[in-house]
A and B are shown apart, each in its own frame.
Chain A
């Protein structure tokens, strides 16, 4: 079955450490997204990419970085500059990013905690 795979499911980070969250999709979607969700809150957009080798900042990009070297992969790095990284991170993809009727498909998330 096609879908989005996020790994790991749980991740722990030490102070001052960078960590990378994996997101892979086999839906042949052009657009991919990273969202952050804090407890009891909605999702906020971190970064998005509509094509390979191109990506744009979302609403809360500070302290995060991404790459898009392959269509199916969009890893997110949480850097030490992100002072409050504890959250639930969700990756999504869609056929084309700028069509308002295309749904986004989400992975099951990575829960990041600080040790």
Chain B
């Protein structure tokens, strides 16, 4: 599986935008980029996914570099409820083990009031 690299932790202030980076320099052309987040003592929650183009939904935006070797999850206005561990995950669409999610340690986001 292609690997991702994320900072261990980041801090933000409430109501400010947050940019969470993810490096995936070995990404293949068939890998989808997924983001999940996990609030304390809860199961992970799907946030967004993309393949090549930038994506927006009600929770966040996903900006994908032109060479696809990195991506950024953007929370437009952080709230205290956004404090969580954010995971960047690659899922291969070419067959094989794309049924599973391979979680790294993610980025712990702290939001200051």
A binding-site residues for B, Cβ under 8 Å:
4, 6, 31, 33, 35, 40-45, 48, 50, 58-59, 90-92, 97-101, 103-109
Contact = CB atoms under 8 A, between A and B. Distances in A.
B30 to A, nearest CB: 8
Interface range on chain B: under 10, 10 to 19, 20 to 34, or 35 or more? 20 to 34
The 9 nearest A-B residue pairs measured at CB: A106-B43, A42-B103, A103-B46, A100-B91, A100-B93, A97-B99, A100-B98, A43-B103, A45-B100
B43 A58 contact: no
Contacts, number: 64
13 contacts: A6-B43, A42-B102, A42-B105, A43-B44, A45-B101, A50-B99, A90-B43, A92-B43, A98-B98, A101-B93, A104-B46, A106-B44, A108-B42
A105 B41 contact: no
Contacts of B44: 43, 90, 104, 106
Contacts of B24: none
A95 to B, nearest CB: 12
Contacts of A59: 100
B45 A106 contact: yes
B64 to A, nearest CB: 14
B42 A42 contact: no
A103 B101 CA distance: 9
B68 interface: no
B13 to A, nearest CB: 25
B49 A103 contact: yes
Nearest to B51: A101
Nearest to B92: A100
Contact of A42 (B31, B98, B104): B104
Contact of A43 (B31, B32, B95, B101): B101
A105 B46 contact: yes
